[in-house]
Chain A
Amino acid sequence: MTASKGTPLVEMRDISISFGGIKAVDHVSIDLYPGEVVGLLGHNGAGKSTLIKCLSGAYQKDAGEIYINGARAEINNPRDARHYNIETIYQTLALADNLDAASNLFLGRELVTAAGFVDDARMEAETRKIMARLNPNFRKFNVPVSALSGGQRQSVAIARAVYFNAKILIMDEPTAALGPQETQMVAELIQELKRQGLGIFLIEHDIHAVMDLCDRAVVMKNGQRVGTVNVGEVTDDDILGMIIMGKKPAAAY
Chain B
Amino acid sequence: MSKSPQTSPATAPLAGATEGNPVKRFLAATEIDTRLLGMLGALALIWIGFHLYGAIVNGNGAFLTPRNLWNLSVQTSSIAIMATGMVLVIITRNIDLSVGSIIGVTGMMMGILQVDVLPQILGLGHWSIWIITCVVGIALGALIGAFHGWLIAFRGIPSFIVTLGGLMVWRGMAFIANGGKTISPVDSTFALLGGGPGGNVGAMGSWIVGLIACAGVVWLLVNGRKQRRKHDFPLRPMWAEVTLGAIGCGAIIGSVLLMNAYPLPKGILRQMGLPEDAFVSHGFAIPVLIMIAVGIGMTILMTRTRFGRYVFAIGGNPEAAALAGINTRWMTLKIFALMGALTGIAAVIASARLNSATNALGTLDELYVIAAAVIGGTSLAGGVGTIYGAILGALVMQSLQSGMVLIGFDAAIQRIVVGLVLVLAVYLDNLYNAKTK
Interface residues, chain A, with chain B CB atoms under 8 Å away:
56, 58, 77-79, 82, 88, 90, 92-99, 103, 107-110, 112, 116-118, 121-122, 124-125, 144, 147
Contacts and interface: CB of A to CB of B under 8 A. Distances in A.
Contact of B231 (A97, A98, A125): A125
Given A99-B313, A118-B306, 14 more contacts: A77-B325, A78-B322, A90-B323, A94-B320, A95-B320, A96-B383, A97-B316, A97-B383, A107-B309, A107-B313, A108-B324, A117-B305, A118-B305, A121-B230
A108 B326 contact: yes
Interface string B147-164: 000000000000000000
A81 B263 CA distance: 64
B305 A94 contact: no
A160 to B, nearest CB: 9
A94 B309 contact: no
A104 to B, nearest CB: 8
A79 B305 contact: no
A121 B313 contact: no
A108 B228 CA distance: 24
B407 to A, nearest CB: 40
B233 A94 contact: no
B71 interface: no
A150 B8 CA distance: 28
A94 B323 contact: yes
B50 interface: no
A58 B323 CA distance: 6
Given A116-B305, A117-B304, A122 B323 contact: no
A75 to B, nearest CB: 12
B234 to A, nearest CB: 10
A92 B323 CA distance: 11
A122 B231 contact: yes
Contacts of A125: 231-233
* Pairs of residues from A and B, 9 with the lowest C-beta to C-beta distance, nearest first: A96-B316, A98-B316, A108-B324, A79-B325, A98-B383, A94-B320, A108-B325, A107-B324, A117-B304
A110 B313 CA distance: 12
A198 B326 CA distance: 26
B320 A96 contact: yes
10 contacts: A58-B323, A88-B323, A94-B317, A96-B321, A98-B315, A107-B324, A112-B306, A117-B300, A117-B305, A121-B230
B70 interface: no
A116 B322 CA distance: 22
Interface string B315-342: 1110111111110000000000000000
B227 interface: yes
B384 interface: yes
Contacts of A96: 312-313, 315-317, 320-321, 383
Nearest to A83: B325
A135 B324 CA distance: 22
Contacts of A144: 316
A112 B312 CA distance: 17
A124 B325 contact: no
B326 A107 contact: yes
B324 A78 contact: yes
B383 to A, nearest CB: 4
Contacts of A116: 305
A92 B310 CA distance: 19
A122 to B, nearest CB: 7
Contacts of A78: 322-325
